[in-house]
Amino acid sequence: MGAKPKSGKKLWSGRFAEPVSELVKRYTASVGFDHRLALHDIRASLAHARMLRAAGILTRGDLKAIERGLSRISKDVEAGRFRWSLQAEDVHLNIERRLIDIVGQAGKRLHTARSRNDQVSTDLRLWLRDAIDEIADLMRKVQRALLDQAEKHVATVMPGFTHLQVAQPVTFGHHLLAYFEMFERDRSRLADCRSRVNVLPLGAAALAGTSFPIDRARVARELGFDGVSANSLDAVSDRDFAIEFCACAALAMVHLSRLSEELILWMNPRFGFVALPDRFCTGSSIMPQKKNPDVAELARGKTGRVAGDLMALLTLMKGQALAYNKDNQEDKEPLFDAVDTLRDTLAVFAELIAGIVVNVSAMRAAAQEGFATATDLADYLVKKGLAFRDAHEAVAKAVRFAEGSGRALEHLPLAELRRFSAKIGSDVYRVLSLDGSVASRSHVGGTAPSQVRAAIRRARAALRRT
């Protein structure tokens, strides 16, 4: 079977006169976190070996031995039986060392025409590509949950806010569709990011390419890459794809955080707009009445964590000269964390959103506060021929009067309303009602129930297409 490496001997140690210290081994080892790349490493190694055989670089026997050994290792990894060793530094050398243990010399030939530099970039891209696909699916689930809730509340009136002050009436369905649009942009960004992730660096070797007659396009086809990297130096040193994903993830988490903040506010008894399922809340160790929106709060907090992952990668790359540097070992933990955090948050929110119970009467009562239909009165006067600035001034005075008398605009008698403009007629009360207000915004993107229904239909069609 051929000579095996001595226990503890590095596969690259021939150049060195003394062994690496135990402290340095612990400090530089990455196997504690990069072992999650194992199956992708095996997949890429199999494609590389088959290409080497097709190019006449490996014998048929070598390929069969490598395939047999990697198949066994793959099964051990999937079953949790594989023994990871700090001595072998990282996922790549752990697998290679075990392959050599199993198949001997053939295992030593696998690394022909590649380096760990292009190997790790390939593995990371394969892993991230799968993660993006999983996250996109979870994002669709969140979007479907939003659409299902929006469909139930197409005509449920609530106050729309600016500056967290009552502004104009909207429907709850319309409000939820705003988040659908945010996540739709997130999915689009992820799809765009995926196209840049899906480029094969294998074949760049350490930094300059290889003198062996390799077929990079063949490997790309087998692994499902859209193409190969155009420059070997860039191929091994590029981490733009990881940074870009973390930017996408950070923005998606910002959207989840904004939704979390609203759920937290709406659940507060002062709002009382929604109730969240008990399984997404916790109690207090001292106050028995408490029902805390911990999941939403934690998602809000974890957003900072993902933003930190993005900043860590930007800082990691900013001072690196070409080509590969050991710094890049630090790319994985922030990337893994961003993926894990976004994936888990989306999975939770798909269920949480589906379980929201809406207090329709509380929303409507809140919309009746704060003179939410004042803009409708101004628009009414403009339609009667008054210039908008004059209409704005007249309504502002009417609001001040109504506020001073402790009444809503729609409760003022016609005679009192006409004190602010002679153009006001008895038909004014139609525009001062909440339902009349939302129904009047009947254009694409507006809050009218008819438009919300149409928007839901378009959104469902978009999800089916992508």
Report the C-alpha gap between 10 and 14 in whole angstroms: 8
Are 411 and 143 a contacting pair, CB within 8 Å?
no
Q: For residue 97, how far is the Cα from the chain centroid?
A: 36
Phi and psi at 374, nearest 5°, equal: -60, -40
Are 392 and 374 a contacting pair, CB within 8 Å?
no
Report the C-alpha gap between 357 and 261 in whole angstroms: 17
Q: Which residue has the tokens 């079953």?
A: 79
User: Which residues carry out catalysis?
Assistant: 163, 284
Structure token pair of residue 10? 């590095």
Are 58 and 52 a contacting pair, CB within 8 Å?
yes
What is the end-to-end Cα distance of the chain in Å, rounded?
A: 51
Are 118 and 325 a contacting pair, CB within 8 Å?
no
